[in-house]
C-alpha cells in the first residue's frame, strides 16, 4: 500500500475523508508533468494529456472565445460537484457572467454553463457515467463529450432530476448547434482529430 493509499484508508476509517484532504495529499505527491488529476466518486484518476486530446480541447476553447471572455473559460481547473467526493478538472468549462469563487477561492459548480470532456481511453467510463450524472445533478445546462475514438460528439442538454433529457449525436465534420442553449453558438468539428 502506498503512503497515499494508507492515508486515505486512515481518513476513511475516521470519517474525515474530504476532497480538500485528498487534493492536499496529491499536491505533495510526484505527479508527472502533463498528467491531469481528478477525483471521481472518491477514486483518484491520473491521465496523460495526449496531443489529439489537447488539439480538440484547444479547438473548443478557441471557438468559445467568440462568446465568452477568456476569464470565463477554464481548462483542467478543479471544480467540486455534487455526489460523493467529486473534484473534477473538466477539459473545458465555461462560466456564467458575474461568477464568483467560493470562500476558499474555488470555482462553484452553480456558475458552470457548459462543460466539454474529450474522451481518453482509460477514463472514458468516467465521462459517460459518473461525471455525466454529477453534471446533470448540478444542472449544468450543456454537456458535450467529444470522442476521438468514435469520431463523434455527444451533446447533452436539459438536465432534470439528475439526468439529461436530451442527447444529440454529431459526427466529427458536422456542426454542433448550440444556438438554442445558453452557449449560443455553432461549434465546428471539421478540424477535430481522431484517434
Backbone angles phi, psi at 51, to 5 degrees: -60, -50
Report pLDDT for 4: 41
How far is the CA of 23 from the CAs of 4, 28, 94, 178, 185, in angstroms?
11, 9, 23, 34, 35
Report pLDDT for 161: 94
Report pLDDT for 16: 61
Report pLDDT for 12: 45
Cα atoms in the 13 Å half-sphere on the side-chain side of 183: 30
Alpha carbons 55 and 111: distance in angstroms, whole number = 26
Residue with cell 474530504: 18
DSSP label at residue 6 = H
Mean pLDDT in runs of 10 for the chain (195 residues)?
Answer: 44 61 74 71 73 93 97 94 90 97 93 96 88 96 97 98 97 98 98 94
Report pLDDT for 38: 66
Report pLDDT for 91: 94
Amino acid at each position: 500500500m502506498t503512503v497515499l493509499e494508507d492515508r486515505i484508508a486512515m481518513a476513511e476509517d475516521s470519517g474525515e475523508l474530504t476532497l480538500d484532504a485528498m487534493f492536499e495529499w496529491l499536491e505533495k505527491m510526484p505527479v508527472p508533468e502533463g498528467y491531469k488529476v481528478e477525483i471521481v466518486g472518491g477514486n483518484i484518476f491520473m491521465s496523460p494529456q495526449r496531443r489529439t486530446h489537447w488539439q480538440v480541447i484547444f479547438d473548443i476553447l478557441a471557438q468559445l472565445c467568440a462568446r465568452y471572455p477568456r476569464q470565463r473559460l477554464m481548462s483542467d481547473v478543479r471544480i467540486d460537484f455534487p455526489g460523493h467526493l467529486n473534484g473534477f478538472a473538466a477539459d473545458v468549462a465555461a462560466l456564467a457572467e458575474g461568477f464568483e469563487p467560493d470562500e476558499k477561492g474555488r470555482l462553484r459548480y452553480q456558475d458552470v454553463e457548459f462543460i466539454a470532456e474529450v474522451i481518453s481511453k482509460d477514463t472514458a467510463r468516467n465521462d459517460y457515467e459518473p461525471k455525466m450524472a454529477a453534471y446533470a445533478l448540478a444542472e449544468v445546462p450543456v454537456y458535450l463529450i467529444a470522442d476521438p475514438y468514435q469520431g463523434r460528439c455527444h451533446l447533452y442538454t436539459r438536465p432534470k432530476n439528475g439526468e439529461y433529457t436530451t442527447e444529440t449525436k454529431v459526427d466529427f465534420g458536422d456542426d454542433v448547434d448550440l444556438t438554442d442553449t445558453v452557449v449560443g453558438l455553432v461549434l465546428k468539428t471539421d478540424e477535430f482529430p481522431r484517434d
